[in-house]
Amino acid sequence: MQMKHAVIAGLVMLGASALAVAGPSGGTVTGKVTYEGTPAKMKPIDMSKEPSCAKMYATPQLVETVVTGAGNSLENVVVYVSAGAPDEAAPSTAATFTQKGCRYIPHLLAFQVNQELKIINDDQTSHNIHPLPKLNREWNKSQPPGTPPISEKYDKAEFIPVKCNVHPWMHGTFAVLKNSHFAVTADGGSFSLANLPPGKYTITAWHESYGDQSQDVTISGTESKTVNFVFKAKPY
Amino acid sequence: MAKLLAVTIIVIAILSAIPVVMNTWKAPADISTHGHLIDNQMSDTMVEAGVSFLAAQILLAIFIWQFSSPRTDGKVKTFPGGAKGLVIAAIVLVGVEVLALGAFGSKAWAQVYFTPPGVDAMPIQVQAGQFAFYFRYPGPDGKFGPLHPEMINEGNQNLFGLDPEHDVDSRDDIVTAEMAIPVNKEIHLLMHAKDVSHSFYVPALRIHQDFVPGLDLSLHFTATQIGKYEIVCSQLCGLGHYNMRAYLEVMSPQDFDDWQKKQAAAQ
């Protein structure tokens, strides 16, 4: 998914670079991810084949391939440093991926290479999680209700689609990244990458349907730089 | 010892015949127009096989009781010597019985498979894939848009691989996860498997169809009673086979129209 879009709406560099914000060590890159155009309508999911999950919802859940928020913001976009920062060792805390109500929570989980991934089944039904990597080892694991979490890790950076073998509508993504400078946008589309030492960085924003975009930014001290991304929405 | 065996054989034969004769385990109520042919075929088969079974077991027990002996010096006759007539009669009798069942049952089979559906039959496409059934209705234009398997994307709920952007006929197609049909209306099912072998089984409808990947299957039926019925996959298709099912809702024509409008709005 390496589509490069040449769309930059507002790149505010200079100006008041004397904004000495944030971090005890390093500068910050903040911004917003938005879309232009009309995104496809997200279809509702019919879970009638799994009544124990279907009964949890008063109205059907919507597909999450394109989730939009207030102000044309785009959610579930991973914004990360793709160049300019050294690879980092994984933290000791695990990244948690939960199966609840026959959905994956969060829809997109970002974590580091060799960081422990903990997969929890919080439903009354069995799931069979099946990530579909191209670089890492492919596996799928069955998880009946009430069994302990599955523990796994990935040793190569990759964006991995995740599906459930038993429930065809369940889809998610693992973003396995090389360093700790990443954020996932929520409602509002904003992100903040802090504690960046001085240097030249490439900031990349990745969305599962709209591809990725990159911009370069230079940090010289403890200032805050703004980098915004605008994705072109597709009606189908 | 032999007499005990003879008695045991008779007891087991009778005990196993009792629940069948008393119809202890009833099939679900038949809600289709062709189901009675299948049920009659089933009854005929059970009666003929049952009578043959009991006759054979009783004869066997009688022979054991009558002719067993602790003597070890007698001459043992070789089979079939002496009973050739009886053996030929048995073969002919059973053979005729099986052929007859096949001949009488062909009407039931033909009703579902060899007669074409009426021109007014409502077409519904059924796709079986690991591990769910999905259904497609043609929508107001009455036409199914083309399928593009390479475009199947379950994460986006594009379950059939439709391309509404380029195929006009696909734009009004209605894709659902449960099958609703109006009562007393002939339905024409067009079925295929997305990946491996599956089977579409609705016991109350007396419809049971195996899916072979690559084959397009066609059958038709009419449901006669309103209600909710389970469609189960009855061909082992992988680790989620136990969970593979969908629901069939037989509705009044008015309810069906409302349901279809609601589904169309959600596409």
Q: Please state, in angstroms and rounded to a whole number, the distance separating the CA atoms of residues A33 and B243.
A: 40
Computed over every residue of chain B, the mean pLDDT equals: 90
Among A127, A166, A234, pick the best mutation site for testing chain B contact (most B Cβ within 10 A). A166
Taking contacts as CB-CB distances below 8 angstroms, the residues of chain B near A167 are 131-132
Residue A160 and residue A92 share a domain: yes
Residue A172 and residue A197 share a domain: no
Among B127, B151, B154, pick the best mutation site for testing chain A contact (most A Cβ within 10 A). B154
Show me where the domains of chain B are located.
Answer: 2-69+82-113, 122-265
pLDDT for res A47: 92
Residue A99 and residue A164 share a domain: yes
Last residue of a domain, one of A180, A202, A228: A180
Q: Between the CA of residue B132 and those of A49, A191, B78, B240, B244, what are the distances in Å?
A: 7, 38, 58, 9, 5
Among A48, A52, A164, pick the best mutation site for testing chain B contact (most B Cβ within 10 A). A48
Instruction: Return phi, psi of residue A98, to 5°.
Output: -115, 140
pLDDT for res B79: 61
Q: Please state, in angstroms and rounded to a whole number, the distance separating the CA atoms of residues B191 and B212.
A: 10
Short-list A158, A185, A162, A184, CA closest to A173: A162
- DSSP strand E in A57-210: where? 68-69, 73-74, 78-83, 95-100, 103-105, 108-112, 117-121, 127-131, 141-143, 150-152, 158-164, 171-177, 182-184, 190-196, 199-207
Number of domains present in the structure of chain A? 2
Q: In which domain, by residue range, is A133 found?
A: 86-180
Cβ-contact A204, A79 below 8 angstroms: yes
The interface pTM score, or ipTM, of the predicted complex is 0.76
Residue A80 belongs to domain with CATH number: 2.60.40.1120
Kindly report, residue by residue over B172-231, the tens digit of the pLDDT.
999 999 999 999 999 999 999 999 999 999 999 999 999 999 999 999 999 999 999 999
Taking contacts as CB-CB distances below 8 angstroms, the residues of chain B near A65 are 155-156
Residue A62 and residue A141 share a domain: no
pLDDT band for B266, please (50, 70, 90 cuts): confident
Q: Please state, in angstroms and rounded to a whole number, the distance separating the CA atoms of residues B173 and B253.
A: 19
Residue A108 and residue A72 share a domain: no
Write the residue in B131, B176, B239 that is nearest to A46 by C-beta.
B176
Cβ-contact B199, B234 below 8 angstroms: yes
CB atoms A161 and B155 under 8 Å: yes
Residue A138 and residue A54 share a domain: no
Q: Is A144 on the interface with B (CB under 8 A)?
A: no
B119-139 exposure pattern, b = at least 16 Cβ within 10 A, e = fewer = eebbbbbbbbbbbbbbbbbbb
Taking contacts as CB-CB distances below 8 angstroms, the residues of chain B near A168 are 129-132, 154, 159
CB within 8 A of A149, min separation 6: which ones? Answer: A96, A118, A119, A120, A121
Kindly report, residue by residue over B60-106, the tens digit of the pLDDT.
999 888 888 777 776 666 665 567 787 888 889 889 988 988 888 88
pLDDT for res A22: 45
For residue A231, the Cα-to-chain-centroid distance in whole angstroms is: 15
Mean pLDDT score, B234-258:
94
CB atoms A166 and B129 under 8 Å: no
Residue A216 and residue A171 share a domain: no
Tell me how long chain B is.
267
Any idea what DSSP says for residue A180?
S
pLDDT for res A23: 44
**To which CATH superfamily is domain B122-265 assigned?**
Cupredoxins -  blue copper proteins (2.60.40.420)
pLDDT for res A16: 47
Residue A175 and residue A213 share a domain: no
Q: Please state, in angstroms and rounded to a whole number, the distance separating the CA atoms of residues A17 and B148.
A: 53
pLDDT for res A24: 58
Residue A186 and residue A76 share a domain: yes
> Could you read off the pLDDT tens digit of each residue along chain A, which spans 236 residues?
556 565 554 555 554 444 444 445 789 999 999 999 999 889 999 998 999 999 999 999 999 999 999 899 999 999 999 999 999 999 999 999 999 999 999 999 999 999 999 999 999 999 999 999 999 999 999 999 999 999 999 999 999 999 999 999 999 999 999 999 999 999 899 999 999 999 999 999 999 999 999 999 999 988 999 999 999 998 87
Residue A131 and residue A76 share a domain: no
Instruction: Return phi, psi of residue B178, to 5°.
Output: -130, 150
- Upper half-sphere CA count for residue B36 (Cβ side, 13 Å): 2
Residue A225 and residue A151 share a domain: no
C-alpha radius of gyration, chain B, whole number: 26
pLDDT band for B24, please (50, 70, 90 cuts): confident
Taking contacts as CB-CB distances below 8 angstroms, the residues of chain B near A161 are 155
Taking contacts as CB-CB distances below 8 angstroms, the residues of chain B near A44 are 266
Cβ-contact A19, A37 below 8 angstroms: no
Residue A186 and residue A79 share a domain: yes
